[in-house]
Amino acid sequence: MNYPATIGIVGGGQLGKMLTLAAKKMGFFVIVTDPTPKSPAGQVADRQIVGDYKDAKTTRLLAKLSDLLTVEAEFVNDGVLQKIADKGVPVHPSPKTIGIIKDKLKQKEFLKKNKIATAPFFPVNSPDDIKKASKKFGYPMYLKARMDAYDGKGNYLISSEKDIDNGLKKLKGRSLYIERFIDFKKELAVMVARSIKGEVKVYPVVETIHKDSICDTVIAPAKISPLARKRAQVLATKTIKLLKGAGVFGFEMFLIPSTSVRPASQRGEQTQDKSSGQAKVLINEIAPRVHNSGHYTIEASVTSQFEQHIRAITGLPLGSTDMLVKSAVMKNILGTREGIGFPQGLERALRIPGVSYHLYGKRDGRVGRKMGHLTVVGDSVEINLKKASRARKALGI
């Protein structure tokens, strides 16, 4: 690649913004696409093209102006990206990989085909399929949208047959599938990077804590056994080697106790999985991009996930994934009301030692919207959690 190069990012949200800041620090030019003028990434990029993530014309123009393309979300036009790649413009990760991951049913089928542990699932083409799934899995189970679903949007918990009609009504018009409910002990995540030269680096396993199906808190490293940690990292590394393309990938996982619902079971009974030892790890979802669970790396790691992604897609050596501190806690700043996107109470929050603050630059706030995040680093997980909670409570948004 000739330097300085121009990186095109499909998507101008907060992930695009943090990718852009990392790329600019390294001397790259950046162009982003987003339907909202002055998007978070558009505020710091060299140029923003106003247009939808899936708009073919917008994506083709981005390719014309860039030396390579990447994405900040999987909800993009992978068909157009494939044609762009076929014409010689590098696209990372591979559009084929994006095509697999953006459809959650295809993603599950990919994992099952490659014998990667994941929750059992069942395609849904009619209401009768949901009843068939209940006979296999029992209740509760999740009715999920295959496409354009994130932060719990597109999920509906079916606790009994009476919930089926409400679930279908809520997700009307969307392609669906059923996923068996997993009684997990903890939710985990692992970020893994692979460069265009095949180099692979794995970040520490983190614990993610969700509220209302949205990630609220990330604890790095996760307080789990060495065996569970190793299994999570091995599972993520094995999976990324099956996917095409370079960049940082996020792997969301479930840690389940050794006595639990076995994935191979067809009736949902409780059984002892003797092969699991102390813990069993399943992949819940894959993100073909930088991920919310990796935000802590900006302050806590030698190489942030955002710099790592830029290194990976431009052919530069991958950086160290070691942590600079013993512990880090990241807390999302979620909107709690309609209003302006800048919080009150910032002065109080930043008086707390060890707190770093990131605001995404979204003009309008709304309930549940990710407006920013804060990170606390230090020697103690418990102290970091308390500081992060205090800092978040000090912010009104």
What are the backbone angles phi and psi of residue 62, rounded to the nearest 5°?
-60, -45
User: What pLDDT is attached to residue 258?
Assistant: 67
User: What pLDDT is attached to residue 295?
Assistant: 98
Calculate the average pLDDT of the chain: 93
User: What pLDDT is attached to residue 275?
Assistant: 39
Domain ranges of the chain: 6-92, 120-180, 186-394
**In the structure encoding, which two tokens stand for residue 354, read together?**
């060890």
Which residues of the chain are modeled with pLDDT < 70?
Answer: 1, 258-278
**In the structure encoding, which two tokens stand for residue 254, read together?**
């479930």
User: What amino acid is encoded at 211 in this protein?
Assistant: K
User: What pLDDT is attached to residue 276?
Assistant: 39
User: What pLDDT is attached to residue 195?
Assistant: 97
User: What pLDDT is attached to residue 278?
Assistant: 61
Secondary-structure class of domain 120-180 per CATH: alpha beta
User: What pLDDT is attached to residue 332?
Assistant: 97
User: What pLDDT is attached to residue 88?
Assistant: 96
User: What pLDDT is attached to residue 51?
Assistant: 97
pLDDT digits (tens, 9 = 90+) for 118-128: 999 999 999 99
Domain 186-394: assigned CATH number: 3.30.470.20
CA 101 to chain CA mean position, Å: 11
Angle at the Cα of 167 from the Cα atoms of 161 and 170, rounded to 5 degrees: 160
Q: Of the CATH numbers 3.40.50.1370, 3.40.50.2300, 3.40.50.20, 3.30.300.30, which one belongs to the domain with range 6-92? A: 3.40.50.20
